[in-house]
Structure 1
């Protein structure tokens, strides 16, 4: 039930209350989506670019056995060139235990990346971290691939790559290493 505005001293208090309630709902919804939900195994609709607090992305990284963060932005030409290859390769490597996560660094917010995600049919999760994420995770320059193994960043690769290059890179990443 939504309380009537007469309960509040003025409209600013009502707006503050509704913002607090909305923020709480968004936080718990995102936490559930990141920590509980798995990316779809089969073809489906494009992902929804989701803003996430950095601590939630830290948790996702810590829980990733083998994955790649794809740092990108809607204004980045090389990102647009590489993204269709990543979409195609996600379908191939998802069944082999490789998780791909898009990380939007658009300063304009999550909505800036959504048209690009829709255009290319990106099915792997895409999270928006903005400027704070660029600094925290060293996501400059873009595009950048950040390789995660057993919860730790093990490598970074800058620049756009062809589908063949990415296939070789992912194959090497998935190949077990001898101690």
Structure 2
């Protein structure tokens, strides 16, 4: 009778992949692994964010109030920062706002974050506000731990109440760029590359208009 020695070579490839993903899932590393793969995709430059021409206002979205008059996006919305401080979205009035809605369990969110951090460092200005809005349900401490581990320095918040309707989206991450007048001038659903000349020029062009 022939005796067959065990060899990893005899294990089907699909079984090896299934085992690998099983280990990643059980250890909670699957989100990071998928995020890393998607980060490589962003590095190819094929997922650049779409922004209108700097001189164009045609895509601005005015939010209609119940009275029919236009109002600022995020009016009445409040957020909580990583130190427990309540921040009114309206306190950003007069600034260009780059707002990204994300979560720690979202691989595409994790994939685009280093790029957003790079954009934040490049366009640093008291006239441009970054709002990294986490929709995690684990509370401030969970998000704070995640951000600290990653070493990100952009401002991070959690909703202190229900999201305004104008910030609803069918995808996560979703990014909004809001003008100093409070109008949504760009919206990107899904991950994208933001630290590009086009995005930087678009943000800075709105600052110059003030």
TM-score, normalized by length of structure 1?
Answer: 0.58
1:140-151 mapped onto 2 (5 Å cutoff): 140-151=170-181
Which of 92, 96, 104 is equivalent to 1:74?
A: 104
Would the aligned equivalents of 1:66 and 1:98 in 2 still touch at CA under 8 Å?
A: yes
Quick one: structure 1 residues 96 and 58, their matched pair in 2 at CA, closer, same or farther if it must change by over 3 Å? closer
Quick one: structure 1 residues 85 and 146, their matched pair in 2 at CA, closer, same or farther if it must change by over 3 Å? same
1:142-161 mapped onto 2 (5 Å cutoff): 142-152=172-182, 153-161=184-192
Would the aligned equivalents of 2:169 and 2:189 in 1 still touch at CA under 8 Å?
A: no
Matched with 1:49 is 82
1:64-103 mapped onto 2 (5 Å cutoff): 64-95=94-125, 97-103=127-133
Secondary structure at 2:142 match in 1: helix
Cα displacement (A) at 1:67 = 1.8
Secondary structure at 1:175 match in 2: helix
Matched with 2:159 is 129
Would the aligned equivalents of 1:51 and 1:128 in 2 still touch at CA under 8 Å?
A: no
How many residues were matched structurally?
A: 128
CA distance in 1, matches of 2:91, 2:169: 17
Q: Which runs of 5+ in 1 are unaligned?
A: 1-33, 35-47
The more displaced of 87-96 and 70-79 is 87-96
CA distance in 1, matches of 2:185, 2:177: 6
Cα displacement (A) at 1:64 = 4.2
The question of 1:58 aligning with 2:98 is answered no
Secondary structure at 1:106 match in 2: coil
Deviations 1:3-31 (Å, cap 9, x if unpaired)? xxxxxxxxxxxxxxxxxxxxxxxxxxxxx
Cα displacement (A) at 1:90 = 0.7
TM-score, normalized by length of structure 2?
Answer: 0.51
Could you list the structure 1 runs, at least 4 aligned residues long, displaced by more than 6 angstroms after superposition. none
Q: Computing the radius of gyration over CA atoms, which structure comes out larger, 1 or 2?
A: 2
